[in-house]
Structure 1
């Protein structure tokens, strides 16, 4: 079973890139972030023509998440995180697909830090940790996949010293990620590539992709019930170099049946 996460940075503007990648990579499940489309503007017909069922939560101009499943319909189990009655941002979607519970998330960026956006990020992280703890208590095979907007360690950013005050790298955010892992989750990409500099995002500016000046901010976390099934975890780095590509590359794992 191949499960992927891909921040598409505007699903309608990047639709040819997404469809090409779906055709070439053929993932079984895909978590998408940053749809940047109102709910009614999701390209459902094109996604279905590519062979995927989908659920999604859109938002005008910003955010938005979706879960795609090849050859079937995802069974939605949760839309949004509890504890944010006044939170209108589309950032979390959850569904069961082929015996695995998939949580698709787009964690807030949080910049500038400190400030209201950074406080919202930390509060959202606490809500995510609460949901994650509850999922673990059910002893289910769970994958929490998405754009976490966190570089967990110095190994996950090309020049750590330049990012010390950034909301993606501040100690509070890395601590929150470490606490999430400490619940019992496995960072799939790092588990398969310990000690390796491997990135998932390259800025559009300063020729970052060609220089490999990247960040690792897209993660797939595995519950103990599914972690032993992990066979592979990779980044489809070449997709970032395609014409009109997102600034993120798809990240995927393969689970044994």
Structure 2
């Protein structure tokens, strides 16, 4: 197997970040990763692209039998019986390993093409890819995760989700802006309908609107108005990037 093909390297890095590689393939990939700075950069980029997915998922408590399975797989079955099952999870190094194991288990459910002995090929690796989209993760004024924005690359609408429900004051709306990477004037995109989740129509194709945008911002504006400049401060602000190789 040659590992110098750009597409294969990209697919492997994405699957590694997603946690869908089998233990055998993952171990082989990690050996390559140690001495390949370019591959390390691809993994870092994939992790950055996948990070917004965490905000799109509701927190869920896994079944009780998941934890013993993780302990067994990670080799902690010899732990004292009197220890609480979650004590080891509080240790940072082990906690991150457990998180990776959980992601791998979930990924396995969605990527059946990656069997126990399968090597990720250019054909099966396409299963790890989501539709080409622009994704924005915006923080609230307190610096916490506040809002997720996404649009298909050639879409005409953008979906949004507030991490916590947010209601604008009477007579005002949350208004979405695109902030160009070159420092140009903010691009008015449109008002966000009320609700924790929803969609906003775009004044053009997403590829045209977001191609040169590095950040998204949300301000409070007068309902029914069509502002050309944002009424600062930004109530939500964060990075926007493309979600494809």
Question: What TM-score, normalized to structure 1?
Answer: 0.25
Question: What TM-score, normalized to structure 2?
Answer: 0.26
Structure showing the higher helix proportion among its residues: 2
Q: Tell me which structure has the larger Cα radius of gyration.
A: 2
